[in-house]
Structure 1
Amino acid sequence: MVSTPDWVAAGVDTTTPNVARIYDYWLGGGHNFETDRATADHLERKLPWVRQSVRLNRAFLGRSVRFMLTQGIRQFLDLGAGIPTVGNVHEIAQRELPEARVVYVDKEAVAVAHSELLLAGNDRTAVLHADVRDVAGVLESPQVRRLIDFSEPVGLLCMLLLHWIPDEDDPAGLVHAYQAPLAPGSMLAFTHITADLRPESLTAATDEMAARRGDVPHTRSREQVLGLLGDLELVEPGMVGCGNWRPAGPSDIAEDAVWNELLYAGVARKL
């Protein structure tokens, strides 16, 4: 009989592929199962750039968190976080600043269940099971109230999130609603998929995602993504391809230059 790993919460289905665990696998993490790995490998055969894009996104997450720490930010709200796997926010922030505080938010019960076990014993982190579109529910939750002080700057993270919010759900309004109660000096770090440079690759990706999951990302142009930021002010170098935002070394950049541009990335400050 095969034993269940101690990070798997009771009741979690380990036989059905899960997007959070697939993401973990692509990042080289250990919180995934054979069904996740098989699905991930199938997707990668169809979309050979997908693993590299996920890793570029994760590398940008690390750079943006470290940058925010240098700007005096000590608390982070990670929306649509998935499983806090390899290179996660609290690991990065608390390595450099042990008192840093992090709240992860995700609507997937599987990701939240895994996260609760992985974060057990760390009283400076919490995970909230919620849809990010319920802004009041997130900001007024016990987890956020315990760890986030809105009188001090907050690092708001929207990695690979906003392209899942359709126009009818007003993603620009969502960004505004989250940043409105934050103190001046707060920052938003984001990545967003785009078809500006390689539309044929994104068409193949969305077709495959529709066949596999039913959810399809909403690719947006540069102007459309910039329009989501409202009055927030981008820090240098502005909104650029994910691999080109302040790369710290070769691992932050893809060998194929176009792959660096499949995701827009940026950090914006509330004045």
Structure 2
Amino acid sequence: MARVGEETNVDTAQLDHLRELVATSCQILAQHGLVTGSTGHVSHRVPGTADILVRGRPHVDRGLRFAEPSSIIRVDPNARTVGDTNGVARVSEIYLHTEVYKRRPDVNAVIHAHPPGAVLCTINSVPLRPVFGGFNPGGAGMARAGVPTYERSITLQTIEETLPMLDAMGSSDVILLSRHGILVTGRSVEDVTSRAITLEILARMNWISTRQGDPGEILDVDKEEFDRRARTATEARSRGESRYAQLHPGAPAGDESRSNWPYLTALLETGAVYYDDIGFGIRL
């Protein structure tokens, strides 16, 4: 492991690939309505170092929908930029990234976003319940596992402001930031992007369904089955197994999220706007 802030001989092609992935994730989040304008950011560890690659703020910022690899800068664990950033500034909430990586060695990618469905649920005290099942099994499982909430609504611009949020998050891969947004972690850019979208689908479905009264929840027998499947998947990942890896030889073990990535990137190429900002309707 390199010393803090030290430039390393990480393969340039590998860094370029990671910058491309992070920029693509930013574009996908914007297309799906999880971010607007220049708010929100995505990061990934720099392999073999303590540094990260994170979306910064260019001098002329066209927003995440048009994020480019050149806006992805390198930052060390003390939140200092590494190397020439070509005028791209560090984001003010950088500690949302650096402190997560210090605390969670299992995490390789982080997203902070401001999706309206999640924010509306925190404003109106709508809990994220398992109101659906097979419609989105990942979201149903997420609801069953529980989504923690951090009650402060300020932007978290210091280590002291960030650490209590991480305490509230614990070992979860997701947390709602009350009246603010979300923080999501994952094993890869593909993984964390899919998880962030799933969290927002869960939030939007809960928000929309509660407008007509209490939507209820899925049957207890189905809750038990989702719990059983989650345990089975966790055990398989611990053994380095996954159904996705079986179907796609050579894929990283346990990274089923990559099965969504071709769809997300293909949709991105169409230029379609998947969600509107208020009504959550699909406009293709």
Establish whether TM, by shorter chain, passes 0.5.
Answer: no
The TM-score with structure 2 as length reference comes to 0.31
Q: Larger radius of gyration, structure 1 or 2?
A: 2
